[in-house]
């Protein structure tokens, strides 16, 4: 249960990160639904990777831990959404 809240924060911030990148980089935008899905997956992966590197908040719920969790999820979501957008664009 203690890891559930940081994971949910990673997933939500990943969805937000995916949609932010989609809005900023119009040619990679896949629409809100697909930006969100790629962002959610990327947020989960980004949170796990950053957690293994000791930079993802470590599940602590103090202010710094929450900020690190949001950042790792958002960045992971944005990166994966951009990668998927690039692949999709290359396939056209």
Q: Give pLDDT tens digits for 18-66.
A: 999 999 999 999 999 999 999 999 999 988 888 788 776 666 778 888 8
Q: Which long-range contacts (CB under 8 A, 24 or more apart) does 65-71 make?
A: 65/6, 66/9, 69/6, 69/9, 69/10, 69/13, 70/9, 70/13, 71/13
Nearest-CA neighbor of 48 among 83, 40, 20? 40
Q: Is 31 exposed, middle or buried (CB count within 10 Å of its CB: 0-12, 13-18, 19+)? A: exposed
pTM: 0.87
Query: Domain limits of the chain?
Result: 4-83
């Amino acid at each position: 249960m203690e890891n559930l809240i940081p994971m949910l924060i990673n997933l939500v911030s990943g969805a937000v990160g995916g949609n932010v990148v989609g809005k900023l980089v119009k040619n990679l935008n896949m629409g809100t639904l697909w930006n969100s899905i790629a962002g959610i997956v990327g947020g989960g992966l980004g949170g796990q990777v950053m957690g293994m590197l000791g930079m993802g908040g470590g599940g602590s719920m103090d202010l710094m831990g929450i900020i690190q969790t949001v950042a790792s999820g958002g960045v992971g979501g944005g990166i994966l959404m951009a990668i998927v957008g690039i692949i999709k664009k290359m396939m056209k």
